[in-house]
Structure 1
Amino acid sequence: MAPERLHLTPQQALSRLVPHILDMESRAQHRIAIGLAGGPGAGKSTLAAEMVTMLNAVHPGSAALVPMDGFHMRHAKLEALGQVDYKGAPHTFEGAEFVNFLHHLKVATSAVSGPGYSRKIEDVVEDDFTVGPEVRVLVVEGNYLLLTEGPWAGVKPLLDYAVFVDVPREVVKARLLKRHGEEGLFTEERNRAHIERNDLPNYDLVCLSQDRADVVIAMDVEG
């Protein structure tokens, strides 16, 4: 079945999604997982964090953010594999570990800690967040939640509701240049080359997976 397609601002998206998730939570007999997928620079992280804040405002402690980015391969491993130039592509993540982690989170009855990712050091941070036993809603965000290739195919069956955030390619390109530049780790020339070689092909790949979502939100944004 084709996904529902909506054209919304980020605030309108939250106003639409949060009540739906609260209704799902009220009817669920178990912990549920909401997936926010989309290409790099689509604004998923911001939307997911705001969603968690709004859900917890209604039911304190009921929602937790689960970022896919914590499952990047460690930078040293990418160097050893000669894949640093492709960091962020699907094969540079520990995809199977991510699927196992999500599977464990869905059924866990005690606190579980998970890894995050820091753009300031361009590497994984262990035990960056903890999902407490009281959590009822996992807000999972990442580029590759809806892919069918390799271990990523195991993610979609674990999601109770999947949202795809669609943002125009040129907006994404401008955002990524700004994001890479703000950290100041690399030259602008390197950043532009990395975006063209890696980030935009990843964006194009992810866009092909949007029909697997329950709803596609074409985000009305100004860069």
Structure 2
Amino acid sequence: MAPEHLNLTPQQALSRLVPHILEMQSNAHARIAIGIAGGPGTGKSTLASEIVIMLNATHPGSAAVVPMDGFHIRHAKLEAMGQTDFKGAPHTFEGAEFVSFLHHLKSAKTAVSGPGYSRRIEDVVDNAFTIGPDVRVLVVEGNYLLLTEGPFAGVKPLLDYAVFIDVPRDLVQARLLKRHAEEGLFSEDRNRAHIERNDLPNYDLVRLSQDRADVVISLLTDH
């Protein structure tokens, strides 16, 4: 079935998604997973965090973010593989580990810690978050949640509801330039080359997976 397509501001998106998730939560007999997918620079991490804040305002401690980014292959390993120029592409993630982690999380009865990713050091951070036993809603966010190839194909069956966030390509490019510059780790020329070689092709790839979502939200924003 084709997904519903909506044009919404970020605030309208929250107003649409949060009540729906709350209803799903009240009808569920087990932990549920909500996927927030989209290309790099589309604002999915921010939206996922705001959804969790609003869910927890209604039912404290009931929701938590699960970031896909913690499953980047570690930088040292990528260097050994000669793949640092392609960091962020699907093959530079531990996709099978991510699927296994999600599968475990959905049925876990005890606290489970997971890895995160720090842009400050451009590497994985162990035990960056912990999902407590009382969490009922996992808000899973990442680029490749809806891919059909490789290990990431195992993610979609674990999602109870999937949202795809779409933002125009030129706006994504501007956001990524700003993001890469914030930590001051690389030159502007390096950042621009990385975005053209890697981030934008990843954005294009991810957009091809949007029809697997339950709803596609084109975010109306000018920055």
CA distance in 2: counterparts of 1:10 and 1:115, whole angstroms: 27
5 Å-filtered alignment, 1:29-178, equals 29-178=29-178
Deviation string, structure 1 residues 161-220 (Cα, Å, up to 9, x no partner):
000000000000000000001110000000000000000000000000000000000000
Counterpart residue number, 1:16: 16
State the Cα distance separating 1:138 from its structure 2 match. Answer: 0.1
Q: How many residues align?
A: 223
Q: Which amino acid aligns with 2:46?
A: T
Q: Which amino acid aligns with 2:121?
A: I
Q: Which amino acid aligns with 1:174?
A: A
Counterpart residue number, 2:208: 208
Counterpart residue number, 1:190: 190
CA distance in 2: counterparts of 1:222 and 1:149, whole angstroms: 33
CA distance in 2: counterparts of 1:12 and 1:183, whole angstroms: 31
CA distance in 1: counterparts of 2:88 and 2:33, whole angstroms: 23
Deviation string, structure 1 residues 131-168 (Cα, Å, up to 9, x no partner):
00000000000000000010000000000000000000
CA distance in 1: counterparts of 2:136 and 2:18, whole angstroms: 14
Identity %: 81
CA distance in 2: counterparts of 1:195 and 1:212, whole angstroms: 26
**SS state of the match for residue 61, structure 2?**
coil
Counterpart residue number, 2:199: 199
TM-score normalised to the size of structure 1?
1.00
Report the RMSD for the aligned CA atoms in angstroms. 0.3
TM-score normalised to the size of structure 2?
1.00
